[in-house]
Structure 1
């Protein structure tokens, strides 16, 4: 391309700045203006562009080609000036089409997900050493840029459906993420929008490089030639399972009869699993080796304004997201909810454009199901003229009908200060919208840090059992671990096992044969216990233990009927109900569990001494050795985790528990007991298992606090007051 001078009207936009960067890298002279200063303008100036804030009649040089976007109206002073001078005028999409002429365009279009998907695709091509050119609608964290002129054959770009410009270039390959009603101010009807997407798909040069989402009903109705992807049965490239991890997501993909197992992507959320699957399929079709694709997906660091972590103050985490359509908002909040689990999620929402609010008025309220609290501010106009009947007040009242007391309005002028007043330590807040709400995150954190609110925490310990001392020591461990800048801590000194086993049996969890008997039954006829043992074919040795006390209190091992009677009398000295169960010969494996709605399971431990444990053996100066992680096979670990999860859920577990199993000589697991308040001393297995899984004792205690706050909020909601901390 011959060296030229280009003048951009509105150069500070994300799409326009990307094109300006490509031209600069090609050696062209680039200048431009924008109505307001921005970081993008500052960066372009450093890269060699001539930048001016504000627009004026004499601002366009007489020898320039003028570039403008759909947002620039015909009455814009520089647009009018360029027309008068008869200068060449290029819509941004026309310039993009020119830049792609000598390349193989790989285009990403759809109502949602274009930026993340195109950025991910560009990243894979870069990591595969294909040196692509790319122009995307977000700043890649890895490159701190939204554009780069490469020497390779491929050109990755977002194809903009909002104004029909995505039809100007026939793609070599393409990804179509979804199709929903948006930009109807341009398209007018659903039918016209659908027809345009059909035309886009039809002009893709190679159908084996057209990847489209089968889960989207409107795309599926178009049935474009190409490769479909999705979760639904019938997709050519089907996601058969997925899970969220601390690092992102893992998914299994069935494609052309081959199962690609545990593909990693460093992004959260089901919607991003879809995006990654599309990129995986397209890259395979381009001949990129599977291992290179995997490594690139795992190393992708995301883009600015797409579930972007902005910072933390006084244990408040702040995120930011560009989502502005109801579907995008819902997907983002769901992904963040699954990542933060039970922490309170506060959405700070700025509606975007009067036309979008008009078209989606009835759908915004349903987008916030995963938020605990929604702080809504004024509609960001994006230079649109107001529309009669479309106001912040009307939208707020419409959303209030569904969201009730968890929705609150805060004026934009005071948003940062007022939002900080609503927040608490351990909250996760997200500014969400395509307007200037993106700038609110840091000021909110600053205001919150100055407030530095505290919780008052009560730690209850002690009790009347013979494990009173263990409870006191556990309470002290928790008190010592809690951060006093977050909590004022007050120490207060002050579960039925047979029921656990009955529930386990109902849920097909292997459990040793047992009998429960109460004191009155036993005192009237001690021999009836022996009769029940015989009738239920419970073989010796047998363990006799109290139902309500710790696992080392008044527990006896009996090998004869007489010993059973003696052991029962001893157990009835400390409890009104006892349990008699058959011994399982094998190894004892303990598992630490944490969570209310989201169940987390730590690395298991093996008790290195079998048989009966005394109190001194468990809590004395030389406690029983525990091996963490327990030396079991991957297959056994999978079974153990599944049984642990099923047991905890069946018992409606809340907060924490330690679940103990026996692993018998044939390799089968048997539920032993569930301890809802496991020991928490320095010798206890519960915190040690979590330490081996990456949680320090301070982090673990803070997780307890988060779970308690979550339970408190849930109880408040049931009482009709849903917005507590």
Structure 2
């Protein structure tokens, strides 16, 4: 059986942001969709509202009978699922057609014009901007997003199959299953060293990805990266450069220098130079695809962002509360730059939940340096995700390294009260773990207090 022959799709880890986008895609195609996830979340609730059958216990007996026909069921799993998972073991042992999420994306995109966004930071925002620009410019596009778009309230844009936009994920070397027509690399900072071992192996995987582009395809790279391609950057000598940048009422206004002409009068509403860079590469790929400046300018101005990417929860003269997914030191630095640019005279409290024991261990000094830039820091315990604890790697260890006297380790149960007792007027929650589940409680408490 191949993917096209399946009429039922079973996901192991269906609540993941990339997996759930695929689930939505197959629901829209009229297939029977179901799966397992460890935790019930807003994402799984939304899928269940679409008729997706989901259970939350790793138990073969829980699997709906519709997904037990070997001739008609395609099984898709995320590499975050351990090989010891009993459902994954069952499907593998009984001859079912089992594929990784990245392999499925490779199959879906193979027959379309594929635009892939790679990089250790910026993938989700860039992908969502690119998908939005294409959609607003009336391109028939399907975009699989690694976050919930504020414009579409979904992690899937589904409006035709001429172009497919995907995140090219370096975790587990997943992006090597893709063969894009256009691709970009936004960054190559060391990450996922639990997979790669060292930064040189990660860099090699990006080089391998760059060779996956189809003949006559185009590769775009952030200026300064050690890979050859069409370059982009901010106010520099890149092939595509953001020029004449101004901040007007909290938004960027800028022009784009291309290899041929200057495209004028773009407006972008997300703060932070890192986000402006993401917008620039999305524009560059769209221009190379052949889209005109007037439509692109209108589309970019209407872009609202991605949930948990510098998302304003409260924005008043008295109090600002921003939530962000940042989970790497460079991402935290980008959030800090953005918040200082927008609120230079405000006291800033950062609440951070480290994500993964291995990442915390690998970048402990860089995390401490990044967090030390804020006026006040609250640390939650490390979110383990797919990992077991590493001896000695704790949030207390990180706390001790932060060069800021105004710091504290807190439990979730005391988080809201501790935030309310702070005199900071800009509050940030940062991290890729389940800190996102706390946002609504913090917002409610702060809204009530103010």
**Residue 390 (structure 2) aligns with:** 387
Residue 424 of structure 2 is aligned to residue 418 of structure 1: no
Name the count of aligned residue pairs.
Answer: 441
Residue 72 of structure 2 is aligned to residue 62 of structure 1: no
Alpha-carbon deviation of 1:213? Answer: 0.3
Does the CA contact (< 8 Å) of 2:268 and 2:300 recur in 1? yes
**Residue 205 (structure 2) aligns with:** 196
Alpha-carbon deviation of 1:420? Answer: 1.8
Q: 1:156 aligns with which of 165, 190, 201?
A: 165
Does the CA contact (< 8 Å) of 1:112 and 1:177 recur in 2? yes
Deviations 1:481-539 (A, max 9, x none): xxxxxxxxxxxxxxxxxxxxxxxxxxxxxxxxxxxxxxxxxxxxxxxxxxxxxxxxxxx
Q: Matched residues in 1 for 2:419 and 2:317: separation?
A: 15
**Residue 76 (structure 1) aligns with:** 85
Alpha-carbon deviation of 1:391? Answer: 1.3
| Structure index of larger Rg | 1
Residue 271 of structure 2 is aligned to residue 268 of structure 1: yes
Residue 323 of structure 2 is aligned to residue 340 of structure 1: no
Tell me the SS of whatever aligns to 2:172. Answer: coil
Alpha-carbon deviation of 1:232? Answer: 6.2
Alpha-carbon deviation of 1:450? Answer: 5.7
Q: Matched residues in 1 for 2:157 and 2:443: separation?
A: 33
Alpha-carbon deviation of 1:179? Answer: 0.5
What are structure 2's unaligned runs of at least 5 residues? none
**Residue 249 (structure 1) aligns with:** 252
**Residue 374 (structure 2) aligns with:** 371
What are structure 1's unaligned runs of at least 5 residues? 453-725
Deviations 1:105-161 (A, max 9, x none): 100000000000000000000001012011010111111110133324100010100
**Residue 147 (structure 1) aligns with:** 156
Q: Matched residues in 1 for 2:245 and 2:449: separation?
A: 40
Alpha-carbon deviation of 1:336? Answer: 2.1
Tell me the SS of whatever aligns to 1:379. Answer: coil
Alpha-carbon deviation of 1:317? Answer: 2.5
Tell me the SS of whatever aligns to 1:434. Answer: coil
Residue 437 of structure 2 is aligned to residue 439 of structure 1: yes
The 1:229–1:94 alpha-carbon spacing in structure 2 relative to 1, beyond 3 Å, is same
Does the CA contact (< 8 Å) of 2:368 and 2:398 recur in 1? no
Tell me the SS of whatever aligns to 1:405. Answer: coil
Tell me the SS of whatever aligns to 2:35. Answer: strand
Does the CA contact (< 8 Å) of 1:244 and 1:339 recur in 2? no
Alpha-carbon deviation of 1:101? Answer: 2.2
Deviates more, 1:247-256 or 1:99-108: 247-256
**Residue 583 (structure 1) aligns with:** none
Residue 196 of structure 2 is aligned to residue 187 of structure 1: yes
Q: 2:243 aligns with which of 240, 244, 248?
A: 240
Q: 1:178 aligns with which of 187, 200, 210?
A: 187
Residue 98 of structure 2 is aligned to residue 95 of structure 1: no
Q: Matched residues in 1 for 2:111 and 2:284: separation?
A: 24
Does the CA contact (< 8 Å) of 1:26 and 1:149 recur in 2? no
Alpha-carbon deviation of 1:296? Answer: 0.9
Q: Matched residues in 2 for 1:313 and 1:168: separation?
A: 46
The 1:421–1:238 alpha-carbon spacing in structure 2 relative to 1, beyond 3 Å, is same
**Residue 27 (structure 2) aligns with:** 24
Correspondence 1:659-678 to 2 at 5 A: none
Alpha-carbon deviation of 1:62? Answer: 1.8
Q: Matched residues in 1 for 2:304 and 2:444: separation?
A: 26
Deviations 1:425-454 (A, max 9, x none): xx12111000111222332344445656xx
Residue 37 of structure 2 is aligned to residue 34 of structure 1: yes
Deviations 1:328-356 (A, max 9, x none): 11101211222233222211111111011
Alpha-carbon deviation of 1:421? Answer: 1.7
Q: Matched residues in 1 for 2:436 and 2:309: separation?
A: 11
**Residue 428 (structure 2) aligns with:** 430
Please report the RMSD computed on the Cα atoms of aligned residues, expressed in angstroms. 1.9
**Residue 552 (structure 1) aligns with:** none
Does the CA contact (< 8 Å) of 1:136 and 1:146 recur in 2? yes
Q: Matched residues in 2 for 1:429 and 1:272: separation?
A: 20
**Residue 407 (structure 2) aligns with:** 407
The 1:77–1:238 alpha-carbon spacing in structure 2 relative to 1, beyond 3 Å, is same
Residue 356 of structure 2 is aligned to residue 353 of structure 1: yes
Deviations 1:576-630 (A, max 9, x none): xxxxxxxxxxxxxxxxxxxxxxxxxxxxxxxxxxxxxxxxxxxxxxxxxxxxxxx
Q: Matched residues in 1 for 2:271 and 2:215: separation?
A: 31
Deviations 1:183-235 (A, max 9, x none): 011111222211111121122125663211014xxx2x23x2x3101136432
Q: Matched residues in 2 for 1:436 and 1:5: separation?
A: 30
The 1:397–1:65 alpha-carbon spacing in structure 2 relative to 1, beyond 3 Å, is same
Residue 327 of structure 2 is aligned to residue 324 of structure 1: yes
Does the CA contact (< 8 Å) of 1:431 and 1:440 recur in 2? no
Tell me the SS of whatever aligns to 2:91. Answer: helix
Alpha-carbon deviation of 1:257? Answer: 4.4
Tell me the SS of whatever aligns to 1:364. Answer: helix
Residue 171 of structure 2 is aligned to residue 168 of structure 1: no
Does the CA contact (< 8 Å) of 1:351 and 1:433 recur in 2? yes
Does the CA contact (< 8 Å) of 1:237 and 1:255 recur in 2? yes
Runs of 4+ residues deviating >6 angstroms: none
Tell me the SS of whatever aligns to 1:300. Answer: coil
Does the CA contact (< 8 Å) of 1:59 and 1:78 recur in 2? no
Deviations 1:59-102 (A, max 9, x none): 34322221110110011121122223221111111111111122
Does the CA contact (< 8 Å) of 1:21 and 1:148 recur in 2? no
Tell me the SS of whatever aligns to 2:80. Answer: coil
Calculate the TM-score normalised by the size of structure 1: 0.59
Q: 2:12 aligns with which of 9, 14, 21?
A: 9
Residue 297 of structure 2 is aligned to residue 291 of structure 1: no
Q: Matched residues in 1 for 2:444 and 2:157: separation?
A: 35
Does the CA contact (< 8 Å) of 1:350 and 1:437 recur in 2? yes
Does the CA contact (< 8 Å) of 2:191 and 2:199 recur in 1? no
Does the CA contact (< 8 Å) of 2:25 and 2:156 recur in 1? yes
Alpha-carbon deviation of 1:378? Answer: 1.1
Correspondence 1:264-663 to 2 at 5 A: 264-311=267-314, 315-368=318-371, 370-399=373-402, 402=403, 404-423=404-423, 427-448=425-446
The 1:438–1:314 alpha-carbon spacing in structure 2 relative to 1, beyond 3 Å, is farther
Say which structure, 1 or 2, has more relative contact order (CA 8 Å, 6+ apart).
2
Does the CA contact (< 8 Å) of 1:410 and 1:419 recur in 2? no
The 1:126–1:52 alpha-carbon spacing in structure 2 relative to 1, beyond 3 Å, is same
